[in-house]
A and B are shown apart, each in its own frame.
Chain A
C-alpha cells in the first residue's frame, strides 16, 4: 500500500488508520522485584506503608508490600511497531486511564501486551498533532488481568 507524502495540513490517511488500528505489540515480561517497588515509591514521593514498609504491610489484608497504582509504567519494551514512519520527532503524553483488577506484588511475573485502539490527528497549539491511543493489558503469572492502561500519545 502506498502512502502519500506528509503535508503540513494532514498526515494520516484512512488507509493508514486501518493499517494501524488493532495492531498489537510483542508481549513483554517483567519479574516484579521488591526493590523496584521501593524505588518507584520513593521516586513518586509516596511514603504509604503499603508500598514502603514490609513489616507494616504484613499486617494488611494483602499480607505484604504491593505496588503503588502507576508502578506498571516501569515496564519496558511495551510498544507497538507502526507499519509506517510517524515522521514527527516530538512526543507528549496526553493522558492515561488505569483500571485495576488485582494487586501487583513482589515476585509477580507480569506480561504486558499493547494494542492500538485509535489513531487520529488534529491541529493545535503545537501544529499538526497525531493522537495514538493504546490499550495495554497486564497479566500476572496466573493469567489474571491485573490492570489495563489506556494511554494517549501525542506526536507533533
Chain B
C-alpha cells in the first residue's frame, strides 16, 4: 500500500495508481464460495455457452470488488469510502488481465467533510472500459 494521501495533496485530474488483477477460473470458484454466488456461468464452460456466452465470465460483484481494491489502496487507512458505483457494461473472462484505473474528477468540502470524487474503470487487454464507475472518498487533512 502507498503512503497515506491527504486531501491537500489531491488535485482534479490526478490519476490513481493503476491496479492489475489477473482473475482465473480458480478465483471465480473461490469468489463463488466466499460470496455464495454459485451461478454456473462463472465457472462452468458448457453452462455458460448454453447461455449465449463464449465461456465463463467474471461475477459483476467481483469486478466491483476490484474497483473497491483500487480505491481503498489509494485512499489509505485514514480515508473513508463513502460511495462505490459501477456498471457492468462489458463482460470479462478469466485468464486475461484486467486493469483497474481511476482519476480525480472533483475535490470539495461538504458538511465539514473533505471529499474527493473519482471516475473509476476496469480495462480489458484491448483497452476497452468494461466497467465504468465512480467513487467518493473522504480524506484526512494535514492540519486539523
- Which positions in A face B, CB cutoff 8 Å? 36, 39-40, 42-46, 48-50, 60-61, 68-70, 73-76, 90-100, 126, 152
- Which positions in B face A, CB cutoff 8 Å? 1, 21, 23, 27, 30-31, 33-37, 39, 51-52, 59-62, 64-66, 68-69, 71-73, 77-78, 80-88, 133
Q: B36 to A74, Cβ gap below 8 A? A: yes
Q: Which residues of A contact B65 (CB under 8 A)?
A: 44, 46, 68-70, 73
Contacts A45-B69, A68-B68, A99-B82 hold; do A74 and B87 have CB atoms under 8 A apart?
no
In-complex Cβ contact of B88 among A42, A61, A95, A99 (8 A): A95
In-complex Cβ contact of B66 among A44, A96, A152 (8 A): A44
Q: Which residues of B contact A49 (CB under 8 A)?
A: 1
Main secondary structure of the interface of A (DSSP, over half): mixed
Measured CA separation A46–B33 after assembly (Å): 16
Query: How close is A72's CB to chain B, nearest CB, in angstroms?
Result: 10
Contacts A98-B84, A99-B83, A100-B83 hold; do A93 and B35 have CB atoms under 8 A apart?
no
Q: B81 to A90, Cβ gap below 8 A? A: no
Measured CA separation A109–B34 after assembly (Å): 18
Q: Which residues of B contact A39 (CB under 8 A)?
A: 33-34
Q: Which residue of chain A has the shortest Cβ distance to B34 in the bound complex?
A: A43
Q: A98 to B35, Cβ gap below 8 A? A: no
